[in-house]
Chains A and B, each alone.
Chain A
Amino acid sequence: MKPFEQIVTEYGPVVLRVCRAVLGPQEAEDAWSETFLAALKAYPDLPAGANVEAWLVTIAHRKAIDVTRAAARRPTPVETLPERPSRIGRQEDWDGDLWRALKALPDRQRQAVAYHYLAGLPYKEIAALHGGSTDAARRAAADGIKTLRTTYPEPVDHREVAR
Chain B
Amino acid sequence: MSTASDPTADRPLAEESDSITSASDSRTGRLFAALPVQDAPAMARLHERLIDRAQREGILDVAYRTLDSPVGTLLLAATAQGLVKIAFAVQDHDAVLRQLAERVSPRILNAPRRLDETSRQLQEYFAGERTRFDLPLDWRLSKGFRREVLTHLREIGYGHTESYAQVAAAAGSPRAVRAVGTACATNPLPLVVPCHRVVRSDGGAGGYAGGPDAKLVLLALETAA
Contacts and interface: CB of A to CB of B under 8 A. Distances in A.
Partners in one complex: yes
A16 B50 contact: no
Given A37-B54, A37-B57, A118-B35, A5 B43 contact: no
19 contacts: A5-B97, A5-B109, A5-B110, A8-B109, A10-B4, A12-B43, A14-B7, A16-B39, A16-B42, A16-B46, A21-B32, A33-B46, A37-B50, A43-B107, A93-B39, A98-B35, A117-B28, A120-B21, A124-B14
Given A9-B2, A12-B46, A40 B59 contact: yes
A20 B38 contact: no
Given A53-B7, A125-B13, A118 B32 contact: yes
B18 A17 contact: no
The 8 lowest CB-CB distance pairs between A and B, nearest first, are: A95-B34, A3-B108, A120-B7, A122-B18, A120-B21, A9-B2, A1-B106, A122-B14
A2 B47 CA distance: 17
Contacts of B107: 4, 40, 43-44
Interface string A24-43: 00000100110011001101
A155 B30 contact: yes
A118 B22 contact: yes
Interface of A: 1-6, 8-10, 12-14, 16-17, 20-21, 29, 32-33, 36-37, 40-41, 43-44, 49, 51, 53-54, 84-85, 90, 93-95, 97-98, 116-120, 122-125, 134, 138, 145, 148-149, 152, 154-155, 157
Interface in B165-214: none
Tell which of B23, B32, B54 has the most Cβ of chain A within 10 Å. Answer: B32
Given A5-B109, A85-B49, A90 B10 contact: no
A20 B37 CA distance: 11
Interface in B140-161: none
B215 to A, nearest CB: 28
Contacts of A14: 7
A118 B97 CA distance: 30
B69 interface: no
A51 B10 contact: yes
A138 to B, nearest CB: 8
Given A9-B2, A154-B30, 7 more contacts: A3-B101, A51-B10, A54-B11, A119-B7, A122-B15, A124-B14, A125-B13
A4 B53 contact: no
Contact of B34 (A12, A37, A118, A155): A155
B30 A4 contact: no
B199 to A, nearest CB: 35
B81 interface: no
B106 A2 contact: yes
Given A3-B97, A10-B5, A40-B50, A93 B36 contact: yes
Given A8-B109, A40-B59, A43-B107, A2 B8 contact: no
Given A13-B37, A36-B50, A124-B13, A6 B31 contact: no
B106 A154 contact: no
